[in-house]
Amino acid sequence: MLDLVILIISIILQIIAAVIILKLIFISGKRLSWVMLSTALLLMVVRRILAFVSFTWIHNPEAIFYYRFAGDVIGLLISLLMVFGAICIVSIFSSLQHSEKDLINAKSELLEGKLLNDNIINTTIDGVLAVDEAGKVFFCNKQFVSMWQFPDLVINTRDSNKYIASAMNALKNPEKFIAQIREFHVNKNQKSRDEVEFKDGKVFDRYSSPLIDHNGVCYGRVWFFRDITDHKKAEAEIQNRLIYEGIISQIARRLSELSFFEIDAGINDSLGIIGRLIGVDRASIYLFAEDGKTAEKRYRWQTEEIASIEQKEIFEQNSFPLLNMVLTNVGSFQVQDVSELTDAWESEKKIWEEANVRSILCIPLYVEHKYIGFSCFDSIRKKISWNENQTSFLKTIGEIIAGLIRKKTGGQLEQLAQFDTLTGLANRYSFNLMLTRTIAFASRRKLSFALLLVDLDNFKKINDTLGHDVGDLLLKEVGVRLSSCIRTEDYVARVGGDEFFITLAGIQECQDACITAQRIIDSFNNEIRLNEQVVQITCSLGIACYPADGDTKEQLIKNADIAMYQAKNTGKNCYRMFSADRV
């Protein structure tokens, strides 16, 4: 009876073993071993059943012999199957061992630096993050931590989900950010490149790629982040400058075409164009009386939303004591919050608060070096700050309007519209007309020419330390030196501030422009004496050639501007030719 129980238990255990081995071998993918081992186990069960039957019900000696013979044959088959199955089992475990070794080697390579070398990764400007399939962070460099500014408590979790949660409040579009990550979970082998924008204005370039092991299996993902905020701001500034140049040209052209009786309305219309462009609520021009005792708000524009606010029109000139001092010495004045002005600004602050001014920018107006008044651009509904491009733009407009106010005759209007009142060179409006004509002529004749943008290095420092009178004298001398460096057929213009454009006609190759560019740089090597002040100044030049670097006015100006900034960024006092590869 005990033998029978043991036999039954043996059969059950062998069936269970067959199922387990079947599952193990199926997972490993070795189908041959699966067939042999499972068949061997099943034959064991059959042999046990034959033994059970012969032991229990068969009593005929001849039948018992055949049952035992069948059992021996099955036993032989079982032995053969077990031998070949064992060989396959060795192959399985060898394969598993190699797979595990490959995985260890892959992680070792990654962590030891063969894939992400610490010495390189921690000195690159990119932030790097590597995450495994489970979302566990197994590498991030110092730049990543610095760029994203995660707390140490979050960094130390090594949990990518907590990294993401910590970043959500800072992102401008968190839904887009999450959607991209979800997309990677679906398409694990996908690569991508996009930009991540933050609420504070930062912009990161984001590149992501899957991590693939030696067997082609994805075991994680690596992310590279680069801060391109300054690059984006530079692009926006260049774009804004092109817009401002277009507006200046438009306003100058309109004003130059006005009759005597249309000038006042034309100036008011121009203030409206400017005010809407820079987003203010009100724009005004104050002019001093001939006796110098009063300042009258002669020209004005305001939005419809503030039309009901009463405004005083005439002030005593001494109502702006500190403003006049700042404008004549610094060249401009702006404050983002009038309420924060100190007691030194008591008179101006009272006037501006009575007019509900919150933020204000003021620009002096000069005619032939005489301070005749100032323009104001103010915001009532919100705080505003103005950048250098906007300030320079408003100064250029101020020069045009100031001259127009004083000289209302046809011939004088044409002179003011086409020539810079300080240096006597062509102004921005005249330059734009000339450049348009030059492009048309070169296009018809299949000719080439070069456009040079000259920008003085550290000119603002001279203005701040030596005063604007010295700065104006310096700009005059710069105009003289630039004119001496070019041929009769070439053209030089002052387009505002300390920027000058030069066109070099009839060049054979763009490299020919480098000779003139170097001549200009060398001309600034000698110190300049102004009113007993000795000044040393250098310049940076950008070169763009027609048609290689652009066949439109806008393209040439933009590319010359880019090349000039490249010269600034490489140490100043040099020139750079535009190259699309360096953009």
Active site positions, annotated: 498
Strand partners, 376: 284, 362
Can you tell me the distance from the alpha carbon of 561 to that of 234, in angstroms, rounded to the nearest whole number?
10
What residues have CB less than 8 Å from 181, skipping those under 6 apart?
A: 164
Q: Do the Cβ atoms of 166 and 152 come closer than 8 Å? A: no
Nearest to 282 by CA among 325, 312, 252: 312
- Residue of 440, 422, 424 lying closest to 432 (CA atoms): 440
How far is Cα 102 from Cα 106, in angstroms, rounded to an integer? 6
Length of the chain, please? 583
Pair of tokens at residue 457: 């290095």
Q: How big is the chain by its Cα radius of gyration, in Å?
A: 41
- 489-512 b/e (C-beta count within 10 Å ≥ 16 → b): ebbbbbbbbbbbbbbbbebeebee
What is the C-alpha to C-alpha distance for residues 318 and 372, in angstroms, rounded to an integer?
Answer: 14
Neighbour tally for 121: CB within 10 Å = 21
Say which amino acid occupies 26: F
61's tokens: 């000696």
Phi, psi at 572, each rounded to 5°: 65, 180
Nearest to 427 by CA among 234, 205, 214, 253: 253
How far out from the chain centre does Cα 64 lie?
A: 91
- The two tokens of residue 247 are 């507006």
Q: What's the distance, Cα to Cα, between the start and end of the chain in Å? A: 92
Eight-class DSSP state of 260: G
Q: Which residue, 438, 429, 578, 573, is CA-closest to 503? A: 438
Sole residue written with tokens 């030069």: 502
Under 8 Å between Cβ of 547 and 444: no
Q: What is the DSSP letter of 114?
A: S
Report which residue type is found at 147: M
Pick from 210, 237, 208: nearest CA to 224: 208
Measured CA to CA, the distance from residue 282 to residue 301 in angstroms comes to: 6
